[in-house]
Structure 1
Amino acid sequence: MNLNTDKNKMKNISIFTARMTEEKKEMVTGYLYISPFFILFTIFGLFPILFSFYLGFQKWNGLTEMEFVGWANFRFVLEDPLFWKSLYNTFIMGLLGTFPQLVVAIVLAFALNSALIKFRNFYRVSYFMPYVTSTVAVAVVFGVIFSEQESGLINVILSWFHLDPVNWTTSEWGVKFAIAAMVFWRWVGYNTIIYLAGLQSIPKELYEAAKIDGATLFQQLRYITVPMLRPFIIFTVFLSTIGAFQLFTEPLIFLGRSYREEGITVVLYLWREAFVNLSFGPASATAILLFFIIIIFSSVNVFLANRIGR
């Protein structure tokens, strides 16, 4: 009897051990599959972030030894008028390029979702094309469109209304409108596709019931579409806020290496400090300040977007 009991115990132990071994194998296999992402993120994402926080308190030109300077880099940045000018430019260009884009994207998505529009698939692809187009190519094309010469496309259109040509690369508001137009053109299609996906998830019975009750098209958009799209609006507002404060390629290509005060953004200011002036300390301090600015503005925008449709 004792012999049979011992055999059963040994059998149960061997089965348990085999199960544990299989579970460990599956666990190790799973971690191996997802490890490339975490390895690459640690090397190219987490380490630069942590190193920037460390570098913000150092004086370093990229070649010599680092020197701890405390809060000197932050004082330098906060006392620099060009930093505040870049923050102002970033905010204005982000507002001009982001808010209209979200409104137009909702209207376009509503139109594409309508059964009255023909060739909807063609329009969906057309609206999304600017997003997959190279940012450099977009900036070059818009640089020609917003040329300072009288033969520039926008200046020719202005001449039809007997308006003087605008110096788009040197005037205070000309630069901002030109760069905001690039941002608008490039991202409106992306947000349209996001909103279109949200619209297709709304039950059609709601619109049918609203039509029976005599709701107009505007009332359907206001009382059904916008409230039901609230999660998608929050998502796009969050991404648009981050993208607006990270504006870099468009002003760099459009203005060249002049770094004019009229169009310099925070990231362009950061890039100039790091790779032109070789002042990596102030550049890292700027990055840290921008990090907290993005958190604050994103939180405010998400809070406001969360109240839409209530």
Structure 2
Amino acid sequence: MTDSVLMHAAAQVADAQRKSPVIKAFFDKDTFTVTYVVRDPETKSAAIVDSVCNFDPASGRTTYDSADAVIAYVQDHDLEVEWLLETHAHADHLSAAPYLQEKLGGKIAIGEHIVTVQNVFGELFHVGPEFQRDGSDFDHLFADGDTFKIGNIDVTVMHVPGHTPACLAYVVGDAVFVGDTMFMPDYGSARADFPGGDARQLFRSLRRILELPATTRLFMCHDYLPEGRDKYIWETTVEAERKHNIHAHDGITEDEFVTMREARDKTLDMPRLILPSVQINMRAGHLPPAEENGVQYLKLPLNAV
């Protein structure tokens, strides 16, 4: 079957040289997360991708230093935020999307398969009926192949499951925000052992992204400074990934990738902030409702299967 979404995205990239977005990255070293402000230089319309709310698990305190740096940049450049885009429900940091929305506006959006994630984790955390599990915490749910604009710049949405069922890549002009699906060539690929993850799906999602034109710019959600490198880097190209990605370069077969990925995942610890992150991010970054005493709580499942 012809992948019409991929064909459309590739055509968009090929035609995007004259409408290349301006991209500003903000690196949160505590969670190794990169937040992006993506803007159209002609109209000053902008989107924010994968924002970070700072969280101290020892005290249960949230702060917004990382988000405030984004706000300062947006205001200094007189930008109009139209979208607060999530590539997926992150397991390693809390989203600051509601805080940014309050300060800057914009619609909070994620992939339509977030409902699968909400149902799995809504059950795990035994969340009450106030949590609808239908995606309604978000302002907009994207499907594979959906298109929209940031100012005059075309955006195509690609569903790239494998790390989670809801993962998206946003093709913005000639740039792609790949979320956790892919890392820099010397770090490889995302884990696929979270609920709903699938190494075989992940390989197919990786190859789908890598079918885009060779000069396509790829922007990672994280960088973990692998051994042998002394500088954090989060931008590469399709060509570089196809040649050098240690897990998914050209020539690696699907079966080889799956064997590697499943074996590697068995050696990995859970992310430090997975329990608070998922509870918040499945709600589009909103904190749980306060209880009768006015305090908001997160849950910690004990000995859960």
Q: Which TM-score applies when normalising by structure 2?
A: 0.21
RCO greater where, 1 or 2, for CA within 8 Å and sep 6 or more? 1
> Between Structure 1 and Structure 2, whose CA radius of gyration is higher?
1
Q: Which has the higher strand share?
A: 2
Q: Which has the higher helix share?
A: 1
